[in-house]
């Protein structure tokens, strides 16, 4: 499958999670994005 299709599936799965699990997932994803940005800046 292509990346765009996988992104759509992931979004649908996250949307179907119970609210507390969805919020936790989004929180962790935000931290991962922040850490990735920091590591790119330090290179």
What's the confidence (pLDDT) of residue 9? 94
Instruction: Give the Cα separation of 34 and 2 in Å (integer).
Output: 25
Find all residues with CB under 8 Å of 14, minimum gap 6, and list them.
Answer: 22, 25, 26
What's the confidence (pLDDT) of residue 43? 63
Instruction: Give the Cα separation of 25 and 12 in Å (integer).
Output: 13
For the chain (43 residues), the mean pLDDT of every run of 10, in chain order, is 90 96 96 92 72
To the question of pTM greater than 0.85 for the whole model, the response is: no
Domain ranges of the chain: 3-41
């Amino acid at each position: 499958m292509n990346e765009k299709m996988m992104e759509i599936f992931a979004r649908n799965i996250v949307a179907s999670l119970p609210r507390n699990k969805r919020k936790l997932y989004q929180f962790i994803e935000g931290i991962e994005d922040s850490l990735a940005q920091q590591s790119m800046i330090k290179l």
